[in-house]
Amino acid sequence: MWNRDLDVLVPMWQGADDIRVRDGAAVLGALTAPGARRVTVPVPAGGSEREKGVRHRAAVVDAYRAHRDVLGRHRPRRLLTLGGDCAVEVASVAHLAGHYAQRLFVLWIDAHGDLNTPASSPSGTAHGMPLRLLLDADADGTLPAPGCLTPGQVALAGVRDLDPAEVEYAHRHDLTVLDCAALGAQPTRLAELPPPGAAVYVHLDLDVLDPSALPAVAVPTRGGLTPTALALSLTALRARHQVVGVGITEYVPQLKHDQQVLIVVLDALGLRKDPPT
């Protein structure tokens, strides 16, 4: 089992503008063996109109602050984050960047790049912005943007649906991108992305899986990975590198699906709850 200091359940849905993902944190928590300590981050109940280009901006900011405060009190060096939507990753990754600095390497395993800004986002949803917020400080304060990562500390895997501004950003900053075809053909390639000695954070948006395997996600996107390919990739990664953080997001448990798919992935991450004896 993967040992960590703290699990945070963050049932934020406002970043996706999809209340269904709120329940994903609790269901994922029930499927995983708890770490040394488990805390549910208090998240605002409601939403608001689009403000400064961001839907439900006030709720997203308040949830970030509550999440940051929980991490500040517990100061974990190994952290499991269960969302909710992808915007919950900003506080978790920024916290670990404060511990590991340049050693931190983030694998963004996701159908989407999450590289938009409030100005470039077609939808205005904050779950399409967290990686950009981690890479670039936000000068106007629209959203909390730690700007704690450099492009060399990030690789995207499984991405297949980028907006034009995200494509331009990825090219301009020479971000490493490993597509589904390459990863599916050779799952061990994921483990080749972090440099030796890295402290690895795994962001896993479950929409990286093909909808034929797991339709229970907020934004299902065709052309994704099989559960076997993803599990083999994660197993190889854990065998080769020190994993200091895992974040799992965008699960919609209300939709009909085969939960065994989740179990295969959680097993590969060393997170499965032991069966009762």
Where do the structural domains in the chain lie, given as residue ranges?
6-268
pLDDT at 49: 85
From 133, 77, 73, select the one nearest 100 (Cα to Cα): 77
Q: Which of 129, 155, 154 is nearest to 144 (CA)?
A: 129
CB atoms within 10 A of CB 35: 19
Neighbours of 248 (CB within 10 A): 28
Q: State the Cα–Cα distance between residues 37 and 79, nearest whole angstrom.
A: 10
Q: What are phi and psi of 213, to 5 degrees?
A: -95, -40
From first to last of its 277 residues, the chain has per-residue pLDDT tens of 999 999 999 999 999 999 999 999 999 999 999 999 999 999 999 988 899 999 999 999 999 999 999 999 999 999 999 999 999 999 999 999 999 999 999 999 999 999 999 999 999 999 999 999 999 976 567 999 999 999 999 999 999 999 999 999 999 999 999 999 999 999 999 999 999 999 999 999 999 999 999 999 999 999 999 999 999 999 999 999 999 999 999 999 999 999 999 999 999 999 997 654 4
pLDDT value of position 24: 98
CATH 3.40.50.300 fits 6-268, yes or no: no
